[in-house]
Homo-oligomer: A and B are copies of this chain.
Amino acid sequence: MTDKLHWEDFRPGDVAIYGPRHVTREEIIAFAAEFDPQPMHLDEAAGAASLMGGLAGSGWHSCSLLMRMIADGFILNSASMGSPGMDEVRWLKPLRPGINVRIRSTVLETRASKSRPDTGFIKMTFEMIDDTDAPVTTMISTLMMGRRSPGAAP
């Protein structure tokens, strides 16, 4: 499938937007009940009494929704080989029920793998933004991506 995105298709400065996705109270509570049952993620009154100031989704729910949105947005149509991890995951605003979120991706840098000629690395930021374009959750990621032309000069 030559039309899949490969490493060569990502250039520093590239910006893309994925989504939107509507966030519901039901999914916030369901995620929290399974993975992060802190009261501010489960109950409006407990959220209001917390630093969150109201019901707020788990930070890990934000990250998981972001993952789903970038998967649908480009990863499932790419030669992605996964990621070794994330840096600077920041939970900047509460994930509120009823908001619509989008993901803004920005390519920071790309480099070819020295040890694997079929692989390149793409360092990018992912920002989950709300209806007012304010960042809810941000992170810096390094993706491993297959090269269309293994070993060629970039």
Contacts and interface: CB of A to CB of B under 8 A. Distances in A.
B91 A38 contact: no
Contact of A38 (B64, B76, B144): B76
Interface stretch (A6-14, A55-63, A121-129): A55-63
Contact of A89 (B37, B51, B89): B89
A64 B32 CA distance: 10
Nearest to A90: B85
A18 to B, nearest CB: 14
Contacts of A60: 60, 63-64, 67
A73 to B, nearest CB: 12
* Interface band, chain A: 20 to 34
A interface majority secondary structure: mixed
Interface of A: 34-38, 40, 50-52, 58-60, 63-65, 67-68, 71, 75-76, 80-91, 144
Given A60-B63, A89-B87, A91-B83, A71 B37 contact: yes
Contact of A85 (B37, B51, B76, B88): B88
A82 B90 CA distance: 12
